[in-house]
Amino acid sequence: MNSIYISEVIKDITTRILGASHHVDMIISESLIDERTIAIVDGISEAVQLVDSRIPLRCILQAKNKSPNMLLNVFGIAEETSKATLQPNRLGPGVWGILVTNHPGQSFIVVDGSVVMLLTRAKFETHLEGPIINDAIASFDHRWQILTETQATGAELLYEDEIITVDPSAHKKVVTLSNKDWERVLRHLRDTPEKLRSMNPRDFEELVAELLDRDGFSVQLTPPSRDKGRDILATRDSRLGRHLYYVECKRYAKDYPVGVTLVRSLYGVAEQGRATAGILVTTSRFTKGALEFAEPVKNKLSLKDYKEVVKWIRDECS
């Protein structure tokens, strides 16, 4: 990377981070930093200081050893916090985590769940569509869940292996399950509902589609990253006519609630598309603002949180 290219990368990253309207998630790996790319990491550090405090920001600093001085110093974190932990409001808006791992892996930034910026020492890539979007979201959420669970138990974390990699070639093909297979999946989730939060986002969409199908809807899954704010189209015919529902699925960690921006967006998409109603289903919960927005339009917008999804599955298994 030459100096001109690095300047363009910093400009692109800063513009996208500061232009976020929903949320920003990022993993910055120790393996990214060398004498050429340190300016990029500095630029990221400066950009997150300026993020609107109303925009949810989560950042994982991924280091290879328990004293990752270079990575910590860039972001101004004291060495004593270098074990796995979550640090709210240390560096401006958002929540920060430090993950100690033998394989620091890929650095990337996800903006509003629809743009992924991949960073290595050799190149910088921006992805606006494709399976890499869901792969990056799943990879981040997996690591964030590790941090959350580690903090809750008070244990120190030494994460040994890469479980999920951000790699377009590793994209999972869609598999059609038989009714018998689905029965087995539903029983497993009924007994271990926490597994909902570790599902691949696309798998969660397929699960919701299956539940809707069992409730008598005709369902159509939209292509990943081209869903225009609607993961599933669910229709049902009755004596009163055909009813169309736009369904959006958010497979989020339990500590990452769905905010009013996404709820308002789904309502707008459903209204623009003249759908009967919008349905937002999540493995997390909804913020107070989201619930307050949905209440007066409850006939046009339905919110289903983790507890309701678990009940839905248990009802199907009864």
Tell me: do 57 and 186 sit in the same domain. no
Question: Mean pLDDT highest for which of 85-94, 133-142, 155-164?
Answer: 133-142
Residue numbers of the domain that contains 187: 179-317
Mean pLDDT of the chain: 77
Domain boundary among 170, 199, 214: 170
Q: Tell me, yes or no, whether 271 and 310 share the same domain.
A: yes
Q: Quick one: which H or E segment has residue 87? A: strand 85-88
Q: What is the pLDDT of residues 180-195, one digit of tens each?
A: 778 888 999 999 999 9
Q: Domains in the chain: how many in total? A: 2
Residues 135 and 10 in one domain: yes
- Most distant CA atoms of the chain, gap in Å: 69
Its sign, for the CA torsion 242, 212, 114, 276, is positive
Q: Are residues 129 and 153 in the same domain?
A: yes
- Between 265 and 54, name the one with better pLDDT: 265
- The structure's pTM equals 0.51
| Domain at 154, CATH number | 3.30.870
22 CA to centre of own chain? 11
What's the confidence (pLDDT) of residue 80?
A: 42
Residue where one domain finishes, among candidates 105, 135, 170:
170
Residue indicated by tokens 């959006």 = 248
Q: Are residues 210 and 166 in the same domain?
A: no
pLDDT at 217 (0 to 100): 94
Q: Do 267 and 305 sit in the same domain of this protein?
A: yes
CB atoms within 10 A of CB 161: 7
What CATH number did the domain enclosing 307 receive? 3.40.1350.10
CA 263 to chain centre: 16
Asked if 150 and 215 sit in the same domain, the reply is no
Q: Are residues 262 and 300 in the same domain?
A: yes
144 with 242, same domain: the answer is no
